[in-house]
Amino acid sequence: MTEKFTADEIRVLRPYVTNVDRAVFALRNLPEEVVAVLFAYYSRSRESLRRNLLKLIRDNDLDLERRPTWADLQEDDLALARRKATEFHEKWVVGYGHASVAEHAVAHLAVEDVSIVASKVLEDTRLASFTEKSTRYVVFDRDKFYREPCIAASAHAALYEDTCRFLLDTYTRLMDPVAAAIRAETPRGARQTERAYEAACRAQACDVLRYILPAATLTNIGMTVNGRLLEHLLTKLLSHPLAECRRIGTLLKTESEQIIPTLIKYAGISEYLRETAHAMESAARGHLAGVTPDEAPAVALVRYPEDAEDRLVAAVLYGYAAHPLAQIEARVRTLSQEEKTRVIEEYLARRGPHDQPLRALEHLTYTFDILVDFGAFRDIQRHRMVTQTPQESTAVHGYSRPPEMARFGLSAVFDECMARAQSAYEAIVRDLPREAQYVLPLAFRKRVLFTWNLREIHHFVQLRSGRQGHASYRRIAQQVYRELERVHPFLAKYIRVDLEDHPLARL
C-alpha cells in the first residue's frame, strides 16, 4: 500500500528519509522545527509525511538544500564520525551501564498504514511523544484496513474482508448525508467564515461516524522517542503476540539502526514478556472460569485515600520545611479543619487560567474502573502520566450508539453495522481469540483500569470535559469528576470541569 514516487521526487527525498519505498521510515537532516510540523500534519492531512515534505520543499517553505547537513560531508568524514560515536556509546552505554546516556539521542519515526489496534500498543509508551491521524479532522479511506495474516490464512478470510469492507463503505457513504444533516440543524455563527463552518460540520460528522470504523482501519503515527525508551518499545513489540506488532517492531528496528544503532542493539524478543503474558492469561482463565462479568457503572472509583486532605496538607508543607514526613503528619493531625482548609486554599487558589496545580497533588492517587468505547479509549489513552491496564477488546460489553444516529434516522443502519461486526467477531474468536478484535468497530466497549494522581486528574478533567471534546470521552471526564466529588468534595472544587451537555463538539 506504500505510495510510489518519481525519480525526481526520490532524489529530493533521499537526504531526509531513510527510505522511500516502505511504510516505516526515519527522518534525518531536518531541523527539529520542521520535524514537528511534519508530524503535526498527520493529525490534519490525508497525505503521507513524505508527500507533505515534498510539498514544503517545492513550495519553497523550506530552504533545506542550502543548509549544511550530513549530506554535505565526505564519506570518510561520515565514517569517522560514526565510528567515534559508536566507540563512545560502547564505552558509556554498554561498558559502564549508563543507559541514561541513550535518553539524549532521539529518533523521529514515522509509522504509516498500521491498524488502530497496533497504534494503541505503540502509544502505550509513557514518555514518548505521538501525533496520530485524527478521526475528527480526517476522513479515513474506505479501502485501507489491515489484512490480519492469521485470519487471511483461515476459513474466516472472506468473512473478515467482507465485514471490514461493509463497515468502511457504510462510513464513507454516510459522511456527506450526516454532514448535511448537521448543517441543517446547526446555523453558521455570526463571526464564522463559510470555510470554518464547513470544516466544523465535517468534523462533527467524523465524530459521529467514527463509531463505525473497524479497529483494523489503517492510521498514521508520528513518534519522537529517545534511545533508551525506543529499545524498550522495540523489545515489547518484538515480543508481542500479534503478528502485526512483531512486524512493526522489526521494521522500526531496521530504520532506527540507521539513526542510533548502538543504543538499540540489545532490543529483541524477551522470553520474560512472552512467557509471563501466557502464564497470566492461563491464570485468569483458570481462576475466573464460569464467572460471568457483573454489570457495573461506566466509571467506578474503586480505590482512594481515606485521609486525603491530611495527606495533601502534609505533602504541601513538606516541600517548604526541614522536618521528616512522619513529624509533619503528626502535626497536621492536631490542626483544626479550618487550618487545613487554609493550607490547601493557599496552595491552589492563585492559579491563573493556564496554570497547572503544583506537584504535591501527585501524592494522592485514585483508581478508576472504566467501561469505555474503543473510540474514546483511543483519546483517553494519550494521557500517559497514569498507570493504565486495558483489557483486550471484546464484544462482551456491547457498544455505544451516538444519539445523532437516531436523530438523523440512521439507527437501523448503525445497528446493522454492529450486528454484522459482532457476528463476524463471534465466528472468528472461536479459532483466533486474539486476532478477532480487528473486526470490531470503535463503538464496542472495553474495560480499562486507570490509576491517576490528583494533579493528573485536574489536567484530564479540564481538557477532556471541555465543549470541544468528543461526547463519549467528555462523559467519562465528567463522571471521573463526579466520583471524586462524591468522596472528596473539598478537593474536587478546585478541579476545572465543564458539566454542560454539549451534544456535538464545536471547533
pLDDT band for position 68 (cuts 50, 70, 90): very low
283: in domain: no
Report pLDDT for 64: 57
Query: Which pLDDT band holds residue 58 (cuts at 50, 70, 90)?
Result: confident
331-381 pLDDT, tens per residue?
A: 999 999 999 999 999 999 999 988 999 999 999 999 999 999 999 999 999
Whether residue 239 sits in one domain with residue 212: no
Q: What is the pLDDT of residues 187-242, one digit of tens each?
A: 888 888 999 999 999 999 999 999 999 999 999 999 999 888 999 999 999 999 99
Residue 65 above 60 pLDDT?
no
Same domain, 93 and 210: no
Domain limits for position 46: 7-136+218-275
Query: How many whole angstroms separate alpha carbon 1 and alpha carbon 320?
Result: 58
* Arithmetic mean of pLDDT over the chain: 89
C-alpha 185 chain-centroid distance: 32
Mean pLDDT of 383-397: 93
Q: What is the pLDDT of residues 401-431, one digit of tens each?
A: 999 999 999 999 999 999 999 999 999 999 9
Q: Is 214 exposed, middle or buried (0-12, 13-18, 19+ CB in 10 A)?
A: buried
Q: Is residue 25 part of a domain?
A: yes
Domain identity same for 262 and 124: yes
B/e letters for 29-53, b = 16+ CB within 10 Å, e = fewer, are bbeeebbebbbebbeebebbbbebb
Reported confidence tier of residue 70, pLDDT bands at 50, 70, 90: very low
Residue reference for cell 448503525: 414
d(C-alpha 1, C-alpha 71), whole Å: 29
| Pair type for strands 129-132 and 106-115 | unpaired
Residue 345 domain-assigned (yes or no): yes
Tell me, yes or no, whether 84 and 228 share the same domain. Answer: yes
pLDDT in tens, 453-471: 999 999 999 999 998 888 8
**39-44: long-range contacts at Cβ-Cβ below 8 A with a sequence spacing of 24 or more?**
39/108, 39/110, 39/131, 39/222, 39/224, 40/131, 40/222, 42/131, 42/132, 42/133, 42/220, 42/221, 42/222, 43/131, 43/132, 43/133, 43/134, 43/137, 43/138, 44/134, 44/137, 44/138
Centre a 10 Å sphere on the Cβ of residue 169 and count the other Cβ atoms it contains: 14
Q: How many domains does the chain have?
A: 3
Boundary residue ending a domain (389, 412, 439): 439
Q: What is the pTM of this model?
A: 0.85
Same domain, yes or no: 212 and 224: no
Q: Is residue 502 part of a domain?
A: no
Burial degree of 430 (CB within 10 A; 0-12, 13-18, 19+): exposed
Confidence band, pLDDT 50/70/90 cuts, at residue 81: very low
Q: Which three cell numbers stand for residue 399?
A: 457498544
More confident residue, 33 or 333: 333
- Contact between 280 and 241 (Cβ < 8 Å): no
- The pLDDT value given to residue 453: 97
Residue 358 per-residue DSSP state:
P
Does 392 fall in a domain?
Answer: no
Using only C-alpha atoms, the chain has a radius of gyration, in whole angstroms, of 25
Write out the E strands in 209-319.
Answer: 218-226, 299-303
Identify residue 156 by its one-letter amino acid code: H
Q: Are 172 and 212 found together in one domain?
A: yes
pLDDT band, very low/low/confident/very high, at 40 (cuts 50, 70, 90): confident
pLDDT, mean of residues 49-73: 67
494, part of any domain: no
User: In the predicted model, is pLDDT for residue 108 greater than 50?
Assistant: yes
pLDDT value of position 78 = 45
Report the DSSP beta bridge partners of residue 451: 367, 387
Q: Please report whether residue 444 resides in a domain.
A: no
- Helix, strand, coil distribution of the chain in percent, nearest 5: 55, 10, 35
Q: What is the pLDDT of residue 504?
A: 55
- Give 113-126 pLDDT, tens digit per residue: 999 999 999 999 98
Same domain, 120 and 62: yes
Within a domain: 129? yes
Does residue 328 sit in the same domain as residue 425?
no
Q: CA 101, CA 85: separation in Å to the nearest integer?
A: 12
Instruction: Mark whether 118 and 21 lie in a shared domain.
Output: yes
CATH number, domain of 87, equals: 3.30.1360
198/125 same-domain check: no
Cα–Cα nearest to 485, from 466, 471, 499? 499
Supply the pLDDT for residue 71.
Answer: 47
User: Are residues 112 and 207 located together in one domain of the fold?
Assistant: no
Per residue in 265-311, pLDDT (tens digit) is 889 999 999 999 999 999 999 999 989 998 889 999 999 999 999 99
Residue 48 confidence (pLDDT) = 94
Same domain? For 99 and 228 the reply is yes
Sheet holding 106-115, edge to edge: 24-26, 106-115, 218-226, 129-132
Render 58-73 in DSSP notation, one character per residue.
Answer: HTTS--GGGS--GGGS
For helices 157-185 and 411-429, give the axis angle rounded to 10 degrees: 160
